Amino acid sequence: MLNRFCENMRKRIVPWIAFPFLLFCSINGTAQNPDDSCTLEISLLTCAPGTDLYSLFGHTAIRVRDQRRGMDVVYNYGTFDDSDPLFYVHFTNGIMLYSVSASTFEDFMSEYEYEHRGVVAQILDLTCEQKKNLYEALRQNTTEDKRFYNYQFYADNCTTRAGKMIVSHSQPLRIENILPSPSPTYRQMIHVYLERQHQYWPEFGIDMLLGSNLDKKPGNEQAMYFLPDYLMNGIDHARKATGPLVRKKETLLQFAEVKTGSSGITPAMVFGFLFVLSIILSVIRKNTAQKTLQVFDIALFSLLGLFGVVILYVWIFRVDEVCRNNINIFWALPTHLAAVFFLRKNPSWLKSYFLITAGLSAVLLVGFIWWPQQMNSAVAVLLLLMVFRSFHQFLKLRNAKNDHLPAAKSGL
């Protein structure tokens, strides 16, 4: 009887004692399953601006980490090959072939540590299925037939690609407004970066070449997919049904912001100096000063003509629309290159040409702040110089023409 009682107790109690151990083994076995995507951790990496022109606006990448498998990979949509002998030709024409590359997290971070650029990580709160699908989509993007894409400045860049990859695999998702009021234009957004780093000459070049399409105001989604900081802010303000998309935000690298760029000599200062110099040379009646002024005008209008040729070229031949509808073409006239060759010959039409140039520059100067395209502030000083030099050439050519007229005859 006693034996039967002990046997019954053993059958009833032992399973309950063993149940926690069996449950632990089951959970541990699931964790060790190599197909379990819950062991993945996916982060959006936002990198601080660098000193090179292509890195002035920062960078975006996606990190996929799995400690159990010892995997830590960064997917980077900003890879390009500048060793191509036609790289700058393609760059000018807007044919920029970028690609996505995968590198180890250690290699990725070592580059930013060397360049003293900060890196912020936003660990995303995704479901197992979402992480698995996102990781697989990133892996597919690195295959030879899918890794390349045509880079476009504000419509399709490395931030655009990374942001859309995350958002499309995090649905359903609601992103709150991240734009200030009043909403900035694309140009105003990039000016913040350029001026903060004292990149006044690159800012002048960008403002000169990029047309009025850059003065459009992006919507919330367009802004988020344009610049890395805006994408980081947008992801911070993204919410799922269960809560925020960002589970944790941490600074991986932090450095004091290094302000690089010009030595303090801005385009406005250079044009202002040239304006004052031209005035001084104009009031000096010595032959040497006048010859110097003539060389000055030839150099000035030749340079403006070259600017105009470049503006016209990228307007016509670039495959995207970022350089079209450029008002700067009305002061940087390509015809200036032809006009300077006739300065010594003084044809009859040249006088009218410089008068029209002076009037056109004056109109642009008077309406400077009202034009649909925001022009660089240094252009205002340049327009003032052009009005003065063009009108001076008009007066000089008119007086030279009058000097060659025969004297009037007198008599009874």
Q: What is the mean pLDDT of residues 133-141?
A: 95
Q: Which of 20-24, 51-55, 163-167, 291-295 has the lowest mean pLDDT?
A: 20-24
Domain boundary at 201, 231, 253, which? 253
Give the strand pairing for 71-79 and 96-104: antiparallel
What amino acid is encoded at 204 in this protein? F
Q: With 50 as the cut, is the pLDDT of residue 13 above it?
A: no
89 is written with which tokens?
Answer: 């030709």
Q: With 50 as the cut, is the pLDDT of residue 227 above it?
A: yes
Residue 380 resides in a domain: yes
Q: How far apart are CA 102 and CA 136, in angstroms?
A: 13
Q: How far apart are CA 161 and CA 148, in angstroms?
A: 11
Residue 326 resides in a domain: yes
- Residues 232 and 324 occupy one common structural domain: no
Higher-confidence residue of 82 and 132: namely: 132
Compute CA distances 202 → 53, 191, 266, 322, whole Å.
8, 10, 10, 16
Give the strand pairing for 119-124 and 246-253: antiparallel
Residue 171 resides in a domain: yes
- Residues 123 and 236 occupy one common structural domain: yes
pLDDT at position 12: 46
Nearest to 362 by CA among 390, 337, 399: 390
Q: What is the pLDDT of residues 207-219, one digit of tens each?
A: 999 999 999 999 9
Q: What is the mean pLDDT of residues 20-49?
A: 61
- Residues 51 and 166 occupy one common structural domain: yes
- Residues 275 and 224 occupy one common structural domain: no
Q: What is the mean pLDDT of the chain?
A: 86
In terms of C-beta distances under 8 Å and separation of at least 24 residues, what long-range contacts does 76-83 make, across chains too? 76/100, 76/101, 76/102, 76/103, 76/108, 76/158, 77/149, 77/157, 77/158, 77/161, 77/162, 78/157, 78/158, 80/151
Nearest to 246 by CA among 46, 73, 107: 46
Percent helix, strand, coil in the chain (nearest 5)? 55, 15, 30
- Residues 246 and 98 occupy one common structural domain: yes
What is the domain count for the chain?
2
Q: What is the pLDDT of residues 375-391, one digit of tens each?
A: 999 999 999 999 999 99
Q: Are 48 and 235 in contact (CB under 8 A)?
A: no
- Residues 96 and 238 occupy one common structural domain: yes
pLDDT at position 53: 79
Domain holding 112: CATH number?
Answer: 3.90.1720
Q: What is the pLDDT of residues 139-181, one digit of tens each?
A: 999 998 899 999 988 889 999 999 999 999 999 999 999 999 8
Q: Are 170 and 130 in contact (CB under 8 A)?
A: yes
Residue 295 resides in a domain: yes
Band the pLDDT of 348: cuts 50, 70, 90: confident
Q: How far apart are CA 43 and CA 65, in angstroms?
A: 8
The domain in which residue 286 lies consists of: 267-403
263 burial via Cβ count (<10 Å: 0-12, 13-18, 19+) = exposed
Q: What is the mean pLDDT of residues 233-258?
A: 92
pLDDT at position 212: 94
